[in-house]
Chain A
Amino acid sequence: MKVLVFIELRDGKIKSSAHEALTVGAKLAGGAANLAAVLVGQASAGLAGQLAGWGADTIYAADSTDLALYNIQTFSGAVEAAIKAFSPNVVLGVASPMGRDLFPRLAARMNGAILTDLTAIEASGNGISGTKPMYSGKCLAEVATDGSVISFATIRQNVFPANKSGNGNATVTPVSAPAADGKIKTIEIRKGKSAKPDLTEASVIISGGRAMGNADNFKVLVECADVIGATVGASRAAVDSGYASHEMQVGQTGKTVNPNLYIACGISGSIQHMAGMRTSKIIVAVNTDKEAPIFGIASYGIVGDLFQVVPLLTQKFKALLK
């Protein structure tokens, strides 16, 4: 099948998750002639060389100063132009905020079928089938698209490996984005204050729950996070109590995360919290209540007071990583 991969940029660089999508795309396409990628953004064409060996012979690039800032109208138009040029069976991307903004819009425009946030994917005739977590992962749905129309799919980050095959000569073909229609103008993209990766991309997370007691106490977690390069998260109880800001929330009405290591501190493990973090590869739980449900899914647990345990953890990690 013919597969077009949308390559997402951040700060003018190719995001690492794009390589995960390319690896999946190469497997579905089964050959470099059947795989293409599309770059959208100012100075994006110059990045095409970095995609050589990632399985695609053709790289469509929409490169103009008008594309300096993400805008749904111009960016979706650019991807649409690449779709019309390549006529893929499947358009593939990552379930990032940008992917989840663009793909539904394009699927509606092209009367396609769309699957979002897949954790497994394979070809099924001219369409695709795969696994999609629902209810924040409380259950998994086996889903499939009708191959008689174009399929759109986004994969979950950090789930699929990124393997460079060495195939694909990544020749650039320019495509144009439409002129801005003025109905939606991007005024500014304000950088986040944190240098840490977003919870959804983090490989290590340390989270605090209601037992944190107040916002100030989160510094215990921040100190540990700084040592192990973790992003700090929070349970809904901690957010609703005003101890942590909402973008830190892990769980069903917060973020779904899948780091290599998740350290839950003073989090009892409500159903909605565990739904959002149970796919973490290793889970460490620290809680004074030995009956806390979080211990049921923990790889390692310590029954104890987080204010005693976490500073010791920080100290031991520091000694280990020195």
Chain B
Amino acid sequence: MKILVLIKQTPDTEAKIRLSSDGKSIEQGDVKFIINPYDEFAIEEALKLKEKLGTGEVVIASFGSDSAKELIIKGLAMGGDRGLLITSAGLEGTDSLGIARVLSAAIKTEKADIVFCGKQAIDDDNMHVGTMAAELLGWPHVNVITKFDLNGATARVEREVEGGQVEIYDVTLPAVFGTHKSLNTPRYASLPGIMKAKKKPFDIKSPADVGADVGSLKAKVTIRGYKYPPEKPKGQVFAGEPIEAMVDKVVKLLREEAKVI
């Protein structure tokens, strides 16, 4: 079975986001980049599936800039078999549908049987690409999965929705699954794993190389600019008084000033 994992390079969750002075772009200077946290669950699930089947290949793929290579290698250090970087050079403004076109072409070219990706990337917070790629392939998808169990060609999966409600599906492969926290605990790369990762097969390809129709990638969504969220007005913080007096003050403010109680 060929298992493809889609990952994305995102800024670390603790990173401050700084905008360029003209507000047209996000400064990337000293930002630390990581594998999108939800994609780590995708890598782990792919590795677990291969271990369970006792056979197969796990390909770690990303559409991104050269710096994503290092993060794909991290996935190989965790246990992936082969890396695939599809270079986004010259296509930085591609919207999510364009990216899904590139990745769905890669999934087809790779003849993948199953695709795992994070439920969303923590940069644009869109939840688009995995679902769109499935649609373009004519495959089913389930996003935000918290349980995955494959029997033959059918996967029984659970998807978390709102208020603890869970949708349970049977999905016939090939299919795309978007992984959520609590699906598994991603492993750490072992030292031998890290040593081996650099020697594992790694392909760097252009969108055209993986069969994407580059002419179809024109963005239909544009980002005109960025701004910071409005500053919070300075609040009232009470300290050094008896606890009950401070609680009384805050309860009164909540009732009379904020009118939320």
> Which single residue of chain B is at the shortest CB-CB distance from A185?
B170
B-side contacts of A249, CB under 8 Å = 181
- List residues of B (1-48) whose CB comes within 8 Å of A's CBs: 11, 13-17, 19, 26, 37-38
B-side contacts of A138, CB under 8 Å = 16-17, 229
Q: Does B142 contact A (CB under 8 A)?
A: yes
> Which single residue of chain A is at the shortest CB-CB distance from B253?
A300
In this complex, the member of B16, B131, B225, B255 whose beta carbon has the largest number of chain A beta carbons within 10 angstroms is B131
- List residues of B (116-171) whose CB comes within 8 Å of A's CBs: 122-128, 131-136, 139-144, 156, 160-171
* Count class of interface residues, chain B: 35 or more
> Which single residue of chain A is at the shortest CB-CB distance from B180?
A246
**Is A186's CB under 8 angstroms from B168's CB?**
yes
**A114-B97, A146-B220 known; A134 and B235 CB under 8 Å?**
no
**Is B135's CB under 8 angstroms from A108's CB?**
yes
CB distance from A159 to the nearest CB of B (A): 13
Contact bitstring B235-255, A, C-beta under 8 A = 1, else 0: 111111001101110110111
Contact bitstring A277-318, B, C-beta under 8 A = 1, else 0: 011011111000010000111111111110011001100110
**Is B226's CB under 8 angstroms from A101's CB?**
no
B-side contacts of A134, CB under 8 Å = 17, 123-125, 226
Q: Does B260 contact A (CB under 8 A)?
A: yes
Q: Does A149 contact B (CB under 8 A)?
A: yes
**Is B162's CB under 8 angstroms from A96's CB?**
yes
Q: Does A129 contact B (CB under 8 A)?
A: yes
> Which single residue of chain B is at the shortest CB-CB distance from A252?
B13
**Is A253's CB under 8 angstroms from B222's CB?**
no
B26, B134, B243, B254: which contacts A105 (Cβ < 8 A)?
B134
**Is A304's CB under 8 angstroms from B243's CB?**
yes
**Is A198's CB under 8 angstroms from B251's CB?**
no
Give bound CA distance, A303 to B13, whole Å: 27
In this complex, the member of A105, A115, A308 whose beta carbon has the largest number of chain B beta carbons within 10 angstroms is A105
Contact bitstring A179-208, B, C-beta under 8 A = 1, else 0: 000111111111111101110110010000
Give bound CA distance, A252 to B123, whole Å: 9
**Is B127's CB under 8 angstroms from A104's CB?**
yes
CB distance from A283 to the nearest CB of B (A): 7
**Is B169's CB under 8 angstroms from A184's CB?**
yes
Q: Does A70 contact B (CB under 8 A)?
A: yes
**Is A187's CB under 8 angstroms from B169's CB?**
yes
**Is B144's CB under 8 angstroms from A145's CB?**
no
In this complex, the member of B13, B225, B239 whose beta carbon has the largest number of chain A beta carbons within 10 angstroms is B13
A-side contacts of B250, CB under 8 Å = 284, 300, 302, 313
B13, B161, B232, B243: which contacts A297 (Cβ < 8 A)?
B232
Question: 8 more A-B contacts (CB under 8 A) besides A135-B17, A290-B239, A304-B243?
Answer: A104-B96, A105-B132, A134-B125, A184-B140, A198-B162, A261-B261, A278-B229, A299-B232
Q: Can you pick out 14 interface pairs between chain A and chain B where the beta carbons lie within 8 Å of each other?
A: A72-B141, A97-B144, A97-B161, A97-B162, A111-B97, A117-B126, A135-B125, A139-B26, A184-B172, A249-B181, A271-B16, A283-B232, A298-B235, A301-B237
Residue ranges of B at the interface with A (Cβ–Cβ < 8 Å): 11, 13-17, 19, 26, 37-38, 95-97, 100, 122-128, 131-136, 139-144, 156, 160-172, 175, 181-182, 219-229, 232-233, 235-240, 243-244, 246-248, 250-251, 253-255, 258, 260-261
Residue ranges of A at the interface with B (Cβ–Cβ < 8 Å): 70, 72-73, 96-98, 100-101, 104-105, 107-109, 111-117, 129, 133-146, 149, 182-194, 196-198, 200-201, 204, 228, 245-247, 249, 251-254, 256, 260-261, 270-272, 278-279, 281-285, 290, 295-305, 308-309, 312-313, 316-317, 320-321
